[in-house]
Amino acid sequence: MDVLMAALGELFSFDCLLFMVLGVFIGIIFGAIPGMSGNLGVTVFLPFTFAMDTVPALILLCGIFYGSNFGGSISAILINTPGTNGACATLLDGYPMAKKGHPLKALDMSLVASTFGGLVSALTLLFFSPQISKVALSFGAPEYFALAVFGLSIIASVSGKSIMKGLVSGSLGMLLATVGIDKISGINRFTFGNIKMYNGIQMIAVLLGVYAVNQMISRVNGTEGGGQASSLVGTDRKSDRLTWKEAVSTVPTMAKSSIIGSVIGAIPGAGSAIAAYISYNEAKRCAKPGEKFGEGELKGIAAPESGNNGATASCLIPLLTLGIPGDAVAATLMGAFTMHGLVVGPKLFQTSGDLVYAIMIGSIVAQIVMYFQGRYLMPVFVKITHIPQQLLTALLMIICCAGAFAIANSVFEVYIMLIFGVVAYFMNKFGFPPVPIVLGMVLGPIAESNLRNALTLSDGSWMIFVQRPICLTFIILTVVLVVLLKRTSKKNAL
């Protein structure tokens, strides 16, 4: 109790609250600009925290992380370009809804779902850290492989009219992920003798190309975009807000997605993009008659946003309890914890309990701060849709080029972005969907490396995948999901 009171005392100081508000705001901005991720925001602001006290410093950095996850959905909804990896699934229904003339409603839904997911995740972090970290620790190579295969099965639901075209796109994504040094054998793959390719291809550069540059080329040659701006500009602000009834109708979807996100977030290496896709897929699988996913369905925004924000605070669980950073941001935050004298791991709660609880409770408060910031800044964000289409195209191109450069301070990432913009443009002409490329890039490496590790563990026996309960559950879920999706697509075709 004393620890808790001390934590509350640390947290509810003027400094802490000020930096929390600032952190969330910076995070939203970083997330909303394509190419700039929450990780970049945390990295950029990390040096500024050296002179600060521990709790305000870490609250600022965590605030950036949480804000960026919601911020990513803003550009996904308004300009069909995900600001972060986690927002890729949001554009499936977010952008169609904005195109229909409801950008504010789509953003409202994203904000409510993000806050809901973030709160569930933060509460999970506070109350279930030890239990979840035990489950997450029981994930070995076979479980990761099964999880990746389960995630890849989502290609079936995001392939549009042709699953075969979706599989070709997914294969391209997986192939791109093989570029660079193979982590298991150390052999170079598809590097073409270029030293810059040794580290592989940055996913965000590919994302910018596939979603943004591809779209810009289409707008420039007039095959897309003429009517979009006008449909967004004509928005009636009053009728374009999320109603209480609409929000309530999505609560079961948000609850389920938040739990999915929280569990996936706690698994090291899984990440928010997987959480978003699995949540979206689950919502689509449970769709009621009349709910048209992919055409601007509210639940199609609620699910991925609750899912990806559900994975935010919970990704700190393995970090705080075991000292294992779950993803890139967690690794950067681990650096921040260390620089402020905190040794993350099992003993952290004993040595710095008050500070850790302040950060955990701060994670809850940050979600509420994010909600109010989003709520009142939303009309400002929506102004982006009032920018004339010609100017918006030019500005986006400029921002994307700068963003791609900022990924690794290298011109190479800009080239990758431009090349994949052109590739995606031609793929679009043939009807190949872009979403499976992202899924392939995220899940391909997890599936490949863990398959090889699992077979090493089992001495070459494939039975390992059916002998472990978690693994078997994922395999059964994959089969059930594919069968159900096939049935649903047949029903829709009739």
Q: Which of 40, 60, 65 is nearest to 50 (CA)?
A: 60
Burial class (CB in 10 A: 0-12, 13-18, 19+), 384: middle
Which part of the chain contacts other proteins (CB under 8 A), choosing from 90-98, 183-191, 233-241, 307-315? 183-191
Determine the Cα–Cα distance for residues 53 and 76; give it in Å rounded to an integer.
Answer: 35
Note whether 238 and 399 are within 8 A (CB). Answer: no
Beta-bridge mates of residue 188: 181
H or E element at residue 358: helix 353-382
Q: Quick one: 4 or 411, whose CB is closer to other proteins?
A: 411
Determine the Cα–Cα distance for residues 428 and 309; give it in Å rounded to an integer.
Answer: 30
Q: Does 182 bind other proteins (CB under 8 A)?
A: yes
Q: Which of 4, 184, 343, 479 binds other proteins (CB under 8 A)?
A: 184
| Least distance (Å) between residue 400 CB and other proteins | 10
Which part of the chain contacts other proteins (CB under 8 A), choosing from 107-115, 179-187, 336-344, 345-353? 179-187
| Least distance (Å) between residue 252 CB and other proteins | 36
Determine the Cα–Cα distance for residues 303 and 370; give it in Å rounded to an integer.
Answer: 18
Structural tokens at position 285 = 């699988």
Q: Which of 270, 253, 233 is nearest to 103 (CA)?
A: 233
Q: Does 194 bind other proteins (CB under 8 A)?
A: no
Residues 134-173 that bind other proteins (CB under 8 A): 162, 164-165, 167-168, 171
Place of tokens 């190479």: 412
- Provide the mask over 94-133, with x wherever binding to other proteins is found by CB under 8 A and - wherever it is not: ----------------------------------------
* Pure H helices in 202-250: 203-207, 214-220, 228-233, 244-249
Q: Which of 278, 280, 256 is nearest to 267 (CA)?
A: 278
Q: Does 230 bind other proteins (CB under 8 A)?
A: no
Q: Which of 175, 247, 255, 368 binds other proteins (CB under 8 A)?
A: 175
Burial class (CB in 10 A: 0-12, 13-18, 19+), 407: buried
* Spatial CB neighbours of 120, under 8 Å, sequence gap ≥ 6: 255, 258, 259, 261, 262, 306, 310
Q: Does 467 bind other proteins (CB under 8 A)?
A: no
Which part of the chain contacts other proteins (CB under 8 A), choosing from 95-103, 175-183, 237-245, 305-313? 175-183
Structural tokens at position 249 = 């109708």
Burial class (CB in 10 A: 0-12, 13-18, 19+), 376: exposed
Q: Which of 99, 102, 105, 219 binds other proteins (CB under 8 A)?
A: 219
| Least distance (Å) between residue 208 CB and other proteins | 13
Residues 400-439 that bind other proteins (CB under 8 A): 401-402, 405-406, 409, 411, 414-415, 418, 421-422, 425, 429-432
Which part of the chain contacts other proteins (CB under 8 A), choosing from 56-64, 71-79, 109-117, 399-407? 399-407
- Number of residues this chain uses to bind other proteins (CB under 8 A): 62
Q: Does 233 bind other proteins (CB under 8 A)?
A: no
Q: Does 399 bind other proteins (CB under 8 A)?
A: yes
AA identity, residue 107 = L
Q: Which of 51, 222, 244, 248 binds other proteins (CB under 8 A)?
A: 222
Binding site for other proteins (CB under 8 A): 44, 162, 164-165, 167-168, 171, 174-175, 178, 182, 184-185, 187-192, 213, 216-223, 388-391, 393-395, 397-399, 401-402, 405-406, 409, 411, 414-415, 418, 421-422, 425, 429-432, 444, 448, 451-452, 455-456, 459-460
